[in-house]
Amino acid sequence: MSLLVAGERSGVGKTTVTLALLSCLRQRKIQVQSFKVGPDYIDPMFHCYVTGRACRNLDPMLTSEAYVQECFDRHAQTATHALVEGVMGLFDGAAGRKDFASTAHIARLLELSILLVLNCSGMSHSIAAIAHGYRSLDPRLKFAGVVLNRVGSDRHLELLTAALEPLGIPILGVLRRQDEITIPDRHLGLIPTAELENLNAIVDRLAHLGETCFDWARLMPLLEQTGERSEERGERREERGISGQQSKSTPSPLTPHPSPLTSSPRLAIAQDAAFSFYYADNLDLLEALGAELVPWSPLHDRALPEGVQGLYFGGGFPEVFAEQLAANVTAREAVQKAIQAGMPTYAECGGLMYLCEAITTFDGQSLPMVGTLPTTAVMGKRLTLGYRQAIAHQDSLMLEHNSTVCGHEFHRSSLTQEPTSPLFSLHPTTHNPYPTPEGWHRPHLHASYLHLHWGAHPESPARFLTCAARYDSRAC
């Protein structure tokens, strides 16, 4: 059995509750594996910092229902306890798909008990209506109890407790208004862990909250792994009609298709404060396919690692560090030279921005970047956010012509020039009724705003590595 932390809406305190539980468990020297519902990168960074383990994203839109089940089963077995943080409100899923990819959907797929976080500010007896509505809307869901957040006083708690008592819903945690911990944020959410100087103090405070604000006698049995085999869980899910629809065809996340690689290509992975958005499963998959991952920093390193045969630039915040990136001229020149020489390169979102001629920051500065792409990334107020179905325009480094992938966009920049030979055509949406060209393509280059999770499509990184294995690093 495992526990899923859900909220009645966004901003209700799911992340604070999750991190408090994780911090307390880690302080008790308990092995806990965490998961995050949805495509988010930053919350998993905090999970990882606290637990010392890579947090795994559970997103059936980017992968599949079967992949979500297998990923959870595989990684939950490696710890004695497991905890999942939800996304948005409990029933909020991908637009137009009812509650698909919602926290409730994941709870059903994985048969998880739900710990519902309620914002109690400004209400007393009305809390019963909210709790009753969430518990009764979908009878397939199992509710372990609630956490009352933003409780104002002892009298306020008495009123809330009296309101919930007739429902028989256990109160498993109480956080007072003065208990709230603020983690700094900016234009794309929380500030990542690498940029917070006082993070250890925040974690200590979270651990204290975890120790003092929760009913651990009831919580611990819900968090403990039973040792039940994944096959048994799968059989029970199938009996209940909630097994993943693609389970027979979706490959295991760590047993990818056989690779034709005759050598182990070395990939330079940009990893620093400017580039930190990577799905742990993607990195695992590259290694399982035979790659050697070599971290390096476009902020601090003056050259690429020796002997690399491919480049991987994840997302992040290059706009925040644009002055430092621009000042590291030798690194920019090394990347430009490598790409000009044909080194296979994968770049998404922040990585795409770094490969542009320049980044224009929020304050209007235009700072030079690598210059591989004949366009400038301009920061603005408009947020581009959401899942995208994309059709490949031609054979490319990662995809076959006409193949369809689901990705996720989350950025406040736009490009001054559209690609002449785009990677994708984005499917029409309610906001844009026409197919939209997206992404920059060359035979050895994939650069796009779309964040991709390769879990259900291991053939994509396999294509990349096949190309990298053939590349002669001596060319640059």
Instruction: Kindly indicate the confidence band of residue 250, based on its pLDDT and cuts at 50, 70 and 90.
Output: very low
pLDDT score at 180: 65
**Range in 17-21, 262-266, 283-287 with the lowest mean pLDDT:** 262-266
Q: What is the spatial distance between Cα 437 and Cα 423, in angstroms, rounded to a whole number?
A: 7
For residues 57 and 126, the answer to whether their CB atoms sit within 8 Å is no
Residue environment code for 88-123, b if the CB has 16+ CB neighbours within 10 A, otherwise e = bbbbbbbeeeebebbbbbbbbbbbbbbbbbbbbeeb
pLDDT score at 458: 94
pLDDT score at 113: 97
Segment 211-231 shows an average pLDDT of 83
Tell me the CATH architecture of domain 3-239.
3-Layer(aba) Sandwich (3.40)
**Range in 222-231, 297-306, 406-415 with the lowest mean pLDDT:** 222-231
For residues 442 and 395, the answer to whether their CB atoms sit within 8 Å is no
Segment 430-439 shows an average pLDDT of 75
Amino acid at 198: N
- pLDDT of residue 438 exceeding 60: yes
pLDDT of 327-350, one tens digit each? 999 999 999 999 999 999 999 999
pLDDT score at 433: 63
Write down the mean pLDDT value for the chain.
90
- Three-state SS string over the chain comes to CCEEEEECCCCCCHHHHHHHHHHHHHHCCCCEEEEEECCCCHHHHHHHHHHCCCCEEECCCCCCHHHHHHHHHHHHCCCCEEEEEEEEECCCCCCCCCCCCCHHHHHHHHCCEEEEEEECCCCCCHHHHHHHHHHHHCCCCEEEEEEEEEECCHHHHHHHHHHHHHHCCCEEEEEEHHHCCCCCEECCEECCHHHCCCHHHHHHHHHHHHHHHECHHHHHHHHECCCCCHHHHHHHHHHCCCCCCCCCCCCCCCCCCCCCCCCCCEEEEECCCCEEECCHHHHHHHHHCCCEEEEECCCCCCCCCCCCCEEEECEECCCCCHHHHHHCHHHHHHHHHHHHCCCCEEEECHHHHHCEEEEECCCCCEEECCCCEEEEEEEEEEEEEEEEEEEECCCCCCCCCCCEEEEEEEEEEEECCCCCCEEEEECCCCCCCCCEEEEEEECCEEEECCECCCCCCCHHHHHHHHHHHHCCHHHC
Segment 140-155 shows an average pLDDT of 97
Segment 353-376 shows an average pLDDT of 97
Segment 231-257 shows an average pLDDT of 50
**Helices 199-213, 42-51: crossing angle, 10 deg rounding:** 80
* pTM (2 d.p.): 0.92
- pLDDT of residue 233 exceeding 60: no
- pLDDT of residue 230 exceeding 80: no
Tell me the CATH architecture of domain 266-475.
3-Layer(aba) Sandwich (3.40)
Pairing label, strands 266-270, 292-296: parallel
Q: What is the spatial distance between Cα 415 and Cα 377, in angstroms, rounded to a whole number?
A: 5
Higher pLDDT, 256 or 47: 47
Place of tokens 């397939």: 140
pLDDT score at 189: 74
In this structure, what is the dihedral angle of CA atoms 18, 21, 25, 27, given to the nearest 10 degrees? Answer: 100
Segment 158-170 shows an average pLDDT of 97
* Identical topology for domains 3-239 and 266-475: yes
- pLDDT of residue 261 exceeding 90: no
Amino acid at 387: Y
Please give the C-alpha separations between residue 307 and each of 98, 260, 304, in angstroms, as whole numbers. Answer: 49, 21, 9
- pLDDT of residue 399 exceeding 80: yes
β-strand partners of 36:
57, 85
Q: What is the spatial distance between Cα 415 and Cα 436, in angstroms, rounded to a whole number?
A: 14
In this structure, what is the dihedral angle of CA atoms 417, 423, 427, 431, given to the nearest 10 degrees? Answer: -20
Segment 424-435 shows an average pLDDT of 71
pLDDT score at 198: 85
Q: In degrees rounded to 5, what are phi and psi of residue 100?
A: -60, 135
Cα 6 from chain centre: 16
Instruction: Kindly indicate the confidence band of residue 73, based on its pLDDT and cuts at 50, 70 and 90.
Output: very high
Q: What is the spatial distance between Cα 236 and Cα 33, in angstroms, rounded to a whole number?
A: 23
Q: What is the spatial distance between Cα 375 and Cα 355, in angstroms, rounded to a whole number?
A: 9
For residues 225 and 177, the answer to whether their CB atoms sit within 8 Å is no
For residues 182 and 205, the answer to whether their CB atoms sit within 8 Å is no
Instruction: Kindly indicate the confidence band of residue 476, based on its pLDDT and cuts at 50, 70 and 90.
Output: very low
- pLDDT > 70 in the chain, percent: 88
Residue ranges covered by each domain of the chain = 3-239, 266-475
pLDDT score at 98: 84
Catalytic residue among 349, 356, 406, 467: 349
Of the candidates 47, 20, 52, 19, the residue with the CA atom closest to the CA atom of residue 35: 47
pLDDT of 84-130, one tens digit each? 999 999 999 886 668 999 999 999 999 999 999 999 999 999 999 99
Please, how many CA atoms are within 13 Å of residue 336, restricted to the half-sphere of its CB? Answer: 16
Q: What is the spatial distance between Cα 299 and Cα 271, in angstroms, rounded to a whole number?
A: 9
Segment 413-423 shows an average pLDDT of 92
Q: What is the spatial distance between Cα 310 and Cα 468, in angstroms, rounded to a whole number?
A: 5
Catalytic annotation present for 349: yes
pLDDT of 270-289, one tens digit each? 999 999 999 999 999 999 99
